[in-house]
Amino acid sequence: MPASPYVTALRAHVGHDLLLLPGASAVVRDDAGRILLLRRGDDGKWSLPAGMIEPGEQPADAVLREIFEETGIRAEVERIGGVDSHEAVYPNGDRCRYLVVFFRCRAAGGRARPDGEESLEVGWFPPDALPPGLDQHTVRRIRTTAAPQAPAWFPAPAERPGDAPAADYVTTLRAHIGHDLLLLPGAGAIVYDDRDRLLLVRRGDNGKWSLPAGMIDPGEQPSDTVVREVYEETGVRIAIDSLGGVATHPVTYPNGDRCEYLHVWFRCRPVGGRARPDGHESLEVGWFAADELPQLDEWAKLRLTAKDGWYARPGADTHPGLSNPRAL
C-alpha cells in the first residue's frame, strides 16, 4: 500500500524527524490455534500484521484493513489485547513513535498471501514453533492475547518524564501546517473515590466540565501520561485499575486547530493528593456524586458508560460521542 498521504505531507516539512502516529496490530489465530505472521518488506523480519490508523478510522477498522492488505486473510476482532507505545526507526531514517492498540482476532476467511511490498512472506505458526528473532512487542502481544477473555494489557506507569513536552512537538508542526489536521496520542482517566464520587475538571479552553485527559508526550507510555495529567490538572494522585477503552476522537479547538486523537482511557482510584485546579488547563476541580453531575458531553458519557475494553465495533453506527469535534 502506498505511504499515507498524511505522513507524506508532514515528511515534506520535518524530513526524518520524529512523528507521533496512531497504530493498530493484530494477533490472528485460526481454528487450530496457529498464529498469523508476516515477513516484513522493510527489514525482512517476521512480525504481526500492523499498520497506521488513517485519519477518520477507528482502531478495529484499521486493524482488519491492515490484516487483509498485508496477508489476504479476512478476520474478526474478538477483544482488545492491550496498548503500548514504542519508537520505530525505518531503514530510510524516518523516526516514528506509535501508540499501538493491539487486538486478539480470529481468521474468518481469505487465503494467506503476501502483498509483495509490506509483506514478503505470510505463514501460520503454532505457538510453540514461532520463527526466531521476534521482537519483544510481538512476543508480548502474542502472550497477552493467549486467553479468549482477559483484561486488556498496558505497561505499568514508570513515573518517568517523557523525552520532550508534547506542546513543543505540536508547536513545531503547527508552524508548518497551521490549523490543518494533526493526529495525536491522548490518554484520560475515570477516577472514582471510595464514596463513589467522580473527579471532574472545568477546562481552561472552553470552560466546560470534563474528565481529566491530555496528550501523551514523546517517550511516555499512556499509563505514565494519565498519572501525570491527572496530578497536573487536579492535584490528585491516582493508581490505575484497568483499561477502559480506546477510540479515535476528532477535536476542533476554540482557536481553530484540528486534531484527531487516538485516545486511551483508564479506570482509576485516588491514592493521595488534594483536589485543586492548576489555573490554566483546569479552572475548577470537584468530586461529584452521580445525582450531582454537571452537564457532560456525549464524549464524556461514552467513556463513563462503556464497559472495560471498549472499542468501536467494525460496521456499527458511529457513537454520537465520536462525531462531535467540539466535545473535548
97 pLDDT above the threshold of 60 = yes
Q: Which helix (H) or strand (E) holds 259?
A: strand 258-273
Q: Tell me how crowded residue 88 is: count the other CB atoms within 10 A of its CB.
A: 14
What's the CATH code, domain 5-144?
A: 3.90.79.10
Q: Tell me how crowded residue 1 is: count the other CB atoms within 10 A of its CB.
A: 12
Q: Tell me how crowded residue 215 is: count the other CB atoms within 10 A of its CB.
A: 22
pLDDT at 327: 82
The answer to whether the 5-144 and 173-315 domains have the same CATH topology is yes
Cα–Cα distance, 187 to 240 (Å, whole number): 12
What percent of the chain clears pLDDT 70, i.e. is strictly above it? 98
* Domain boundaries defined on the chain: 5-144, 173-315
Rounded alpha-carbon distances, angstroms, from residue 128 to 33, 34, 35, 125: 11, 9, 10, 8
Cα–Cα distance, 132 to 62 (Å, whole number): 27
Rounded alpha-carbon distances, angstroms, from residue 265 to 108, 178, 247, 252, 306: 30, 28, 9, 20, 11
Per-residue pLDDT tens over the stretch 36-52: 999 999 999 999 999 99
Rounded alpha-carbon distances, angstroms, from residue 191 to 130, 239, 246, 294, 299: 40, 9, 17, 16, 16
What's the CATH code, domain 173-315?
A: 3.90.79.10
129 pLDDT above the threshold of 80 = yes
Enumerate residues 6+ apart whose C-beta is below 8 A from 135.
Answer: 45, 47
Mean pLDDT of the chain: 95
Positive or negative torsion for Cα 27, 29, 35, 40? negative
Phi-psi region of 276 (alpha: psi -120 to 50; beta: other; left: phi over 0): beta
C-alpha cell at 14: 520535518
Enumerate residues 6+ apart whose C-beta is below 8 A from 260.
Answer: 55, 56, 181, 182, 183, 184, 248, 249, 250, 251
Per-residue pLDDT tens over the stretch 229-278: 999 999 999 999 999 999 999 999 989 999 999 999 999 999 999 999 99
Instruction: Give the length of the chain.
Output: 328
The band of 166, judged by pLDDT with boundaries at 50, 70 and 90, is: confident
1 pLDDT above the threshold of 60 = no
The mean pLDDT of 279-293, rounded to a whole number, is 97
Rounded to 5 degrees, what are φ and ψ at 274?
Answer: -140, 130
* First-residue to last-residue Cα distance in the chain: 33
Pair 189, 211: CB distance under 8 Å: yes
Pair 65, 128: CB distance under 8 Å: no
The mean pLDDT of 7-25, rounded to a whole number, is 96
Q: Which residue type occupies 96?
A: C
